[in-house]
Amino acid sequence: MFSSQPRLAVSQEPVPFYEKVKQSISSNIHAGIWKPHDRIPSEAELVQQFGFSRMTINRALRELTDEGLLVRLQGVGTFVAEPKGQSALFEIRSIADEIAARNHHHRSEVLSLGRIKADSRQATALNLAEGTPVFHSLLVHYENDVPVQIEDRVVNTLAAPDYLAQDFTLITPHVYLSQAAPLTEGEHIVEAVRASPQEREWLNIEEGEPCLLIRRRTWSMNHIVSHARLLFPGSRYRLQGRFMS
């Protein structure tokens, strides 16, 4: 005699209408049908296309804008956003590698490279006495010829004595330091800041545009190798971290 086991009914919640709109628009963007800077149909056109209420369409567009897929300009329309570059928050990687991973072209411009006497802030960052000679480099990194990062770095001379002999248009400071003094530890401090007039000029951004600032210190064994101030335009970059407990 066979005994029948009760079957569990699997209930599937219907997908909200605004999610259907989001999925359709996202699919068009990810498939390349709508490319960055393309204007997408207006709210009225989307209402007619989907047959949903204007409130539903508005919510879909608003959420896609918050997620960074769209840009909405008052009185002009809604456009596909330019994908933001992405920088590792917890990892310590070369920006050249990050850009290459997106199949984009990296180049750097060296604004300054030399030996200076550490001021109080720089000396504290490197755990040295104020006035100690340190190496200093100032670079602008470009992605497809668009400036995406200012790198302002001070380096312990004992950790990387040949620092000034490097051509940082061919190799990034991070890559060289990783070879000269293999990194064993890193520290990131992230802030939202406003750029100075000179920094805005180097990054080609408007006054008032927010920027992301990473203050990065790196160690080799028990010695601090360098301290870098990495400034990103907020509209062109985002930071992402992943961790496990």
Give 54-70 pLDDT, tens digit per residue: 999 999 998 888 777 88
pLDDT at 92: 62
pLDDT for 238 equals: 60
Residue 153: the pLDDT is 98
Q: Are residues 154 and 203 in the same domain?
A: yes
Quote the pLDDT of residue 10. 42
Angle at 199 between CA 142 and CA 190, to 5 degrees: 80
Residue 245 pLDDT: 40
Q: What are the helix (H) ranges across 7-133?
A: 17-30, 43-50, 54-66, 95-101, 120-126
Looking at the structure, do residues 117 and 212 belong to the same domain, yes or no?
yes
User: Are residue 47 and residue 167 in the same domain, yes or no?
Assistant: no
Q: State yes or no: pLDDT of 18 exceeds 80.
A: yes
Measure the CA–CA gap between 232 and 87, rounded to whole angstroms. 10
Which tens digit of pLDDT belongs to each residue from 221-231? 778 999 999 99
Residue at a domain's end among 47, 62, 80: 80
> Which of 31, 55, 80 is the last residue before a domain boundary?
80
**Which domain, by its residues, includes 125?**
85-240
- Residue at 10 is within a domain: no
Query: Are 59 and 29 in a shared domain?
Result: yes
pLDDT of residue 6: 44
Report the domain count for the chain: 2
Q: Is the pLDDT of residue 240 over 60?
A: no
The per-residue pLDDT for range 190-238, each reduced to its tens digit, is 888 999 999 999 999 988 888 989 999 999 877 899 999 999 988 766 6
Residues 177 and 72 in one domain: no
CATH number of the domain to which 54 belongs: 1.10.10.10
First to last CA, the chain: 51
**Domain co-membership, 125 together with 214:** yes
CATH of the domain at 109: 3.40.1410.10
- Per-residue pLDDT tens digits for 145-168: 999 999 999 999 999 999 999 999
What pLDDT, on the 0 to 100 scale, is given for residue 2? 40
Please give the pLDDT value at position 3: 41
Per-residue pLDDT at 182: 85
* pLDDT surpasses 70 at 76: yes
Neighbouring C-beta atoms of residue 241, cutoff 10 Å: 11
Q: Is residue 163 part of a domain?
A: yes
Predicted local distance difference test score (pLDDT) of residue 239: 57
Question: Is residue 149 assigned to a domain?
Answer: yes
pLDDT at 31: 86
CA distances (Å), 82 to each of 101, 176, 217, in order?
A: 17, 31, 31
Residues 35 and 114 in one domain: no
Q: 178 and 134 share a domain? A: yes
